[in-house]
Structure 1
Amino acid sequence: MAMAAAVYLNTTAKNWQYEDTSADQADATPSDGSSRALAFHKCQPLYSATPLYSLSSLAKDLGVGYVLLKDESSRFGLPSFKILGASWGVYRAVEEHLKQVGALEATDALRSLSGLGAQAKKWGLKLSTATAGNWGRAVASMAKNLGIPALVYVPSHMPETTRNLIRGEEAEVMPVNGSYDDAVEVAKHAAGTEGHLLVMDISWEGYTQVPEWVVEGYQTMLDESDAQALAVTGGKRVTHAVIPVGCGLIAQAVTQHYKSSVRQRHGSPAATVIAVEPTTAACLRRSLEEGKMTSVATGSSIMSGMNCGTLSTISWPVLKSGVNVSVVVSEAESHAAVQELDGLGVQAGPCGAATLASLKRVCALERGAIGIDETSVIILYCTEGARDYQIQPGPGPMGI
């Protein structure tokens, strides 16, 4: 990929608004599902808001007002934001399954994990999922909290260190000969086995409800960062939000949030959304260029959590309409960003650091086109903590 093509401007997204029909139109509050997810997270023993840092030296170097970083390196004892979506998605999926089999009465009240887990165990329920890394570990952690088994299907190129982290949550790791997308296909078929409940953070035709709950779960991170950003900047609003893509659900949550018509009616102007992908798995970029959801073949990447070749079907319409900028970064750029953040006191993994790499690329090439100047308030969603990885040769001029 030529360097100039590494930044793609999606001009059709400039005036798009997300209409959240489930939100209270009289108040700028999240939808009922997102509100329940926040209440659920807050009642968990390990809940605390993750920190937001103001990287003043970086802001000065880039010539902007603020560079803020939402640090998801420790969330419920795990090194990634994924547990927010996994915890709410698993909770709702297990609850709804048990309602359908007559094991639970319908209620809007939040149930305890211990009580829900006892019923799930009684009915012999197992969780099944596929993962590129952090999602599978998060689902396994929830299964452990519920006291039920989990089967986690992983691509063959996943490092043994990552597999062992998933095993450390008492899950059974099931290697699949192929890519993440191949692992998803195997997990789909395995979920037809009696007692296996599929919980995925990607949607496809006929499978949308659990991914929608996952998106609701990610709203907790956004509610936290809204309050934190206002406090750090003295009341200034975020103007640009930078987020990794992967299969699309976290990017969907961020895009919906910053393009929400309800927020705009209550004094929060829309922010420019910048989405970042690795050169090995730029499925959003390809889809934007083609004008339709398009899969790509993937290769090995240090940005393993973003190494997804197919977007979630519920995410594509939102990303197509609402993402302003698509940036593709190389292995070398992500690794350099990991090191730069380490020097600033932030322990980030390659996926989280990719947001910094993409911001630097945009500032170098397209800052004027997307309104980045000395007044900009830019937030980076650093979605994973530091982890071991091996540098891989990557495609493009910036590959190592």
Structure 2
Amino acid sequence: MPRLLHRSPAARSWRTTPAPTEVLAFHQGLSDYAPTPLHAVPALAGELGVGRVLVKDESHRLGLPAFKALGAWWAIHRALQDHPGTEELVTATDGNHGRAVARRARMLGLRSHVFVPDVVSSTAIDAIRSEGAKVTVLPTSYDAAVVAAASAVTGRQLLIQDSAWPGYEVIPQYIVDGYSTLFREIDVRPDLVVVPMGVGSVAQATVTHYRSTDSAPAVLGVEPARAACITSSLLAGQPVTVETSTTVMAGLNCGTPSSLAWPVLRDGMDVSVTVEEDEAIRAVEDLAAASISSGPSGAATLAGLRAARDALELTCDSTVVLLSTEAN
């Protein structure tokens, strides 16, 4: 299928307010907290004609193989303050978010119920169950699983969802705020930050962080061609829902943008691009050759950088940060 690409020339001048500073303090107070590494990959810098390619490696974060606990655990912390007496956490997931919610529920002595579309791998489903969660597998899409999870919440249950819609935006904003720790750990001034996109929440966190500081790098968002809800929305000039199918980038297999992410990405993200399955798989292999474990959803950022290279204003002195969100 044709590659989709959207550019917003005014994005770097857009500004917003940062996430609360207490988010980082919360994470630093967790027993398993440690900043994740930023790996230099000279071979990729040479290939792409830039000064440095640095990979933010989220393959080990708070005892889990992905970055999602940063958002989920902060959101749970804040949401339980707002909703005392909660007994069960409910969510929908295409993998890592659901496991992070289930892990934190178990740590806090709460029950968890996770709704999963049947395109999610049995390995990922077993990992969620291993955290003590009740798992409901549905023969449907991620978007429909979110609807099912939201509809199931009653009484002392609480929905912890990483996508927002009108009427449900407080907890998703907590999740986005939680991701800010990842960017506060990055101690370089990049010229470009590349981030994967599902519903757009971590991309929202990226734009929020870098559009609320003196440093204003370009931001490139990357999503699967088979689930291109953000890029399609940007090209349409309004949020749209797209039909999704199976993709190796399972964590990005989302058909509808988050209502919170949409205005931030519309106004503050420089470039958005889609990538194909084989491009993501090649990126996984190339990062593995650099001793970085990255699944297709995380390695999509390298695939997207390659795909959008000619549309980006980069030089031989530029520093590029790729966000690799998960282990392989």
Do both share a fold (TM > 0.5)? yes
Q: Are residues 352 and 124 of structure 1, via their aligned partners in 2, closer, same or farther at CA, if it must alter by over 3 Å?
A: closer
User: Are the counterparts in 1 of residues 80 and 86 from structure 2 also a CA contact under 8 Å?
Assistant: no
The structure 1 residue matched to 2:196, chosen from 237, 244, 255, is: 244
Cα deviation 1:151-193 (Å, max 9, x = unaligned):
00000222211100000111011112200001001011101x2
User: Are the counterparts in 1 of residues 5 and 231 from structure 2 also a CA contact under 8 Å?
Assistant: no
* Letter in structure 2 aligned against 1:89: A
Report the counterpart of residue 224 of structure 2 in structure 1. 278
- Aligned positions, number: 328
Report the counterpart of residue 127 of structure 2 in structure 1. 165
The structure 2 residue matched to 1:151, chosen from 96, 113, 123, is: 113
Report the counterpart of residue 216 of structure 1 in structure 2. 177
Cα deviation 1:208-238 (Å, max 9, x = unaligned):
110111111101000001x2x2xxxxxxx21
User: Are the counterparts in 1 of residues 287 and 299 from structure 2 also a CA contact under 8 Å?
Assistant: yes
Report the counterpart of residue 40 of structure 2 in structure 1. 54
Secondary structure of the 1:40 match is: helix
Report the counterpart of residue 81 of structure 1 in structure 2. 67
The structure 2 residue matched to 1:177, chosen from 103, 125, 139, is: 139
* In 1, Cα distance between equivalents of 2:69 and 2:244: 25
Report the counterpart of residue 260 of structure 2 in structure 1. 314
Do structure 1's residue 126 and structure 2's residue 88 form an aligned pair? yes
Secondary structure of the 2:206 match is: helix
Secondary structure of the 2:136 match is: strand
* In 1, Cα distance between equivalents of 2:313 and 2:248: 31
How far did 1:7 drift? 2.9
* Letter in structure 2 aligned against 1:246: G
Query: After alignment, is 155-164 or 310-319 more displaced?
Result: 155-164
How far did 1:14 drift? 4.4
Cα deviation 1:314-361 (Å, max 9, x = unaligned):
110000011111110011000010001101110110011000011111
User: Are the counterparts in 1 of residues 4 and 273 from structure 2 also a CA contact under 8 Å?
Assistant: yes
* Letter in structure 2 aligned against 1:378: V
* Letter in structure 2 aligned against 1:243: V
* In 2, Cα distance between equivalents of 1:285 and 1:18: 21
How far did 1:362 drift? 1.6
The structure 2 residue matched to 1:200, chosen from 137, 158, 161, is: 161
* In 2, Cα distance between equivalents of 1:63 and 1:158: 37
How far did 1:124 drift? 6.0
Q: Counterparts in 2 of 1:1-400, with a 5 A limit?
A: 1-2=1-2, 5-15=3-13, 17-20=14-17, 30-31=18-19, 33=20, 35-98=21-84, 123=85, 125-191=87-153, 193-225=154-186, 227=187, 229=188, 237-260=189-212, 263-264=213-214, 268=215, 270-363=216-309, 365-366=310-311, 370-386=312-328
* In 2, Cα distance between equivalents of 1:14 and 1:167: 42
* In 1, Cα distance between equivalents of 2:105 and 2:16: 34
Q: Are residues 289 and 124 of structure 1, via their aligned partners in 2, closer, same or farther at CA, if it must alter by over 3 Å?
A: closer
Look at both structures and tell me which one has the larger radius of gyration over its CA atoms.
Answer: 1
* Letter in structure 2 aligned against 1:160: S
* In 2, Cα distance between equivalents of 1:152 and 1:307: 17
TM-score, normalised on structure 2? Answer: 0.97
* In 2, Cα distance between equivalents of 1:156 and 1:316: 27
Cα deviation 1:67-100 (Å, max 9, x = unaligned):
01100000001011100000001111112101xx
Secondary structure of the 2:113 match is: strand
* Letter in structure 1 aligned against 2:82: E
Cα deviation 1:130-150 (Å, max 9, x = unaligned):
001100000001101101100
Question: Quick one: percent identity of the two aligned structures?
Answer: 42
RMSD: 1.2
How far did 1:36 drift? 1.3
Secondary structure of the 2:36 match is: coil
* In 2, Cα distance between equivalents of 1:273 and 1:361: 14
* Letter in structure 2 aligned against 1:384: E
* In 1, Cα distance between equivalents of 2:87 and 2:207: 34
Secondary structure of the 1:127 match is: strand
* Letter in structure 2 aligned against 1:18: R
* Letter in structure 2 aligned against 1:6: L
* In 2, Cα distance between equivalents of 1:224 and 1:128: 30
* In 2, Cα distance between equivalents of 1:175 and 1:142: 21
* In 2, Cα distance between equivalents of 1:52 and 1:385: 14
* In 2, Cα distance between equivalents of 1:159 and 1:360: 27
Spell out structure 1 runs of 4+ moving beyond 3 A. none
How far did 1:13 drift? 2.1
